[in-house]
Amino acid sequence: MDRPKRETSVTARMAAFLCAATIIFFSISAAINYFSVSEFLRNSAGEDQNRMARLIASSVADKIDRKIELAEAQSFGQANAAMQAGSFDTSVGDIELDEKTDKWSLPVSITLIDKEGKAVSSQKTPIYIDDMSGPIKDFKLGRTGHAALVDDRAYLVYAPGAKPFVNKFCSYNELQKTIDADKGWILMDGVYGHKGPVFASFSPVEGLYLSKNKIKWWLFVVSDADMIAKPLNAVMPRVLAIGVILAIIAIFAGIILGKTATKSVSKLLTDMDKISGKNKEAEERVMRFGDDIALALTQTSGMIPNIKHGLKAIVEMMPAPANEKQKDAVNTENSNIDILAKELDDISDMARIEAGKLELNMQKADIKDIIRSSIFIFEPKIRGKGLDLKINILKTSVFVNADVNRIKQVLLSLLGNSVKSTDTGSIEILLKELPEDVEFSITDTGIGVLPGKVIDAGLYISKAIIDKHNGKFWFENISGRGSRYSFRLPKYKPVIAGQSA
């Protein structure tokens, strides 16, 4: 295969690979978020409806108890003389149809017992369903939500628009399965007045007189199940749109990376052939290969924030996660992208260093302020691990001529190493002023490092940055304590007119 065809093939493969990887990553992330948020919505709706069911059930029971207590008071007033410090024997029967009024009522029998245990008088009074069902009648939840009073045989005692004891709320088996649920809410099928599945919350009606007479009623709050996921379904078109945008970004990233990398590789192969023929020009081209790779990595890492912002947009459009487990799942996805971007940045910096192309934006800066801003970023992690943070830096300003972002990169790398390697003890930060320099050090009680060895990309890059500032970088093990990372930077010296910088 000739060179143009080979470059086109590799570029197409790179674009397809990045696009496929992005789509897979996006799909997995979206699926995790969808099911996580769906579960959150169901739990949230279930807790809200269950609270409503308990309040309505309590209100119905209170109405029945108050009406019976009022009837007892009236009976006591009518037979006060005969009562003579006696008591009531009150019983509640099964709900029945009053033939005179054609209304369903709860029959209440009140008997006055004197102090000798003899019945003085007896009175029957009905409590009509309409008089105790006000909280149910007035309750509405969205478009399809309502409350219903159900007996232990699954018959409707009361529901808006339904005749008592004519229709069943659900099958008897479905009722038993529902009231055995642990959460106080459940998905149900075959509920009266609803064609599809409903989201049901329930609570027993536990009044004093109902419980005493072993009458078991249940208060249900129900709504169509599809209403629960409606907010999530409404946001899905925007999620899909973001997925398409991310796929397009990935395609362009693949094309850029593919073209850059394949050109560099093709040049390398050609130059290696020329090197074998001792061609001086080929040697110069091979030296530029490091620049090409650094450029390719920089362009690729530049695409990572776009993908990350897209995923964050998805998270922000969805309701907040309900618990720490769901929050951790969402944060882990974003952390993985941060790690990938950091690794690409490190490799890109190493390529620039090897090619001698590490550039600095030098300016006058207060080293104390740079250190304080870096400590601020890591302080929550240090405190979170229970480590003792000791800070001993200068109170007065000390200026250096430095690239602020690069020096901060060094500080964050060193702080990150110390926090990562230290589980107990302390981290001590020291800044002292020397006649011509300032010296920074961070000492930890961690596992230590191999003295005099560069063991990871962060330390390698940190040393190169400090060297580029005409400073000195070193680190060492502290016997029995951990490790110490140090560097020195020359103090800022203003350029005097007539002198070179």
Quick check: 312 pLDDT over 80? Answer: no
Q: Indicate whether 342 belongs to any domain.
A: yes
What is the spatial distance between Cα 220 and Cα 154, in angstroms, rounded to a whole number?
11
Please enumerate in sequence order all residues whose Cβ is within 8 A of that of 153, keeping only pairs 6 or more positions apart, or say none: 168, 172
Whether residue 16 is contained in a domain is answered as no
Arithmetic mean of pLDDT, 233-253: 64
Mean pLDDT of 337-347: 62
pLDDT bucket at 395, cuts 50 / 70 / 90 = confident
Quote the pLDDT of residue 452: 47
Q: What is the pLDDT of residues 69-106, one digit of tens each?
A: 887 777 666 555 444 546 778 888 888 887 777 888 88
**72 falls within a domain:** no
The yes-or-no verdict on residue 158 having pLDDT over 70 is yes
Residue 21: the pLDDT is 67
Residue in 185, 253, 235, 170 with CA at minimum distance from that of residue 46: 185
**Domain for residue 457, yes or no?**
yes
* Structural domain includes residue 383: yes
> First-to-last CA distance in the chain?
54
Q: Which amino acid is at 198?
A: V
The three-class DSSP label of residue 368 is helix
Verify that 368 and 313 share a domain, yes or no. no
Query: 246 and 323 share a domain?
Result: yes
- Helix crossing, 3-78 with 324-354: angle to 10°? 160
> Of the candidates 354, 385, 418, which is a domain's last residue?
354
pTM (2 d.p.): 0.44
* Mean pLDDT for the chain overall: 76
Q: Which of 169-183, 251-265, 290-304, 361-375 has the lowest mean pLDDT?
A: 290-304
Judgement on whether residues 370 and 472 belong to the same structural domain of the protein: yes
Q: Which residues contact 440 (CB under 8 A, 6 or more apart)?
A: 367, 371, 411, 429, 430, 431, 486, 487, 488, 489
Count of domains forming the chain = 2
Q: Which strand (E) or helix (H) includes residue 198?
A: strand 198-204
Same-domain check for residues 329 and 348: yes
pLDDT value of residue 89: 80
399 pLDDT higher than 90 = yes
Q: Strand 96-98 vs strand 198-204: parallel, antiparallel, or unpaired? A: unpaired
Say yes or no to pLDDT of 108 above 90. Answer: no
Which comes out higher in pLDDT, residue 254 or 391? 391
User: Both 402 and 341 in a single domain?
Assistant: no
For residue 396, what is the domain's CATH number?
Answer: 3.30.565.10
Residue 179 covered by a domain: no
Same domain, 293 and 323: yes
Mean pLDDT score, 353-359: 74
Do 379 and 349 fall within a single domain? no
The total number of residues shown for the chain amounts to 501
pLDDT of 8 strictly over 80: no
CA–CA gap between residue 469 and residue 447 (Å, rounded): 29
Q: What CA–CA distance (Å, rounded) separates 310 from 29?
A: 11
Q: Identify the domain boundary among 319, 354, 389.
A: 354
Alpha carbons 287 and 39: distance in angstroms, whole number: 56
Residue with tokens 């007892």: 72
| Confidence band of 469 (pLDDT split at 50, 70, 90) | very high
461 and 439 both lie in a single domain = yes
Of 342, 277, 280, 274, the C-alpha closest to 308 is 342
- Residue 33 pLDDT more than 80? no
Q: Which residue is associated with the tokens 């007996």?
A: 151
Domain boundary among 327, 354, 381: 354
Q: For residue 393, is it within any domain? A: yes
Q: Is 157 helix (H, G, I), strand (E, B) or coil?
A: strand
**Domain enclosing residue 410, as ranges:** 363-490
Same domain for 340 and 235:
yes
User: Which residues face 483 on adjacent strands?
Assistant: 444, 477
* Pairing relationship of beta strands 472-478 and 426-433 according to DSSP bridges: unpaired
| One domain, residues 388 and 278 | no
- Which range, of 110-119, 133-142, 385-394, 439-448, averages the lowest pLDDT? 110-119
Q: Are residues 347 and 376 in the same domain?
A: no
> Based on the domain organization, do 375 and 473 belong to the same domain?
yes
Portion of the chain with pLDDT greater than 70, in percent: 62
95 inside domain: no
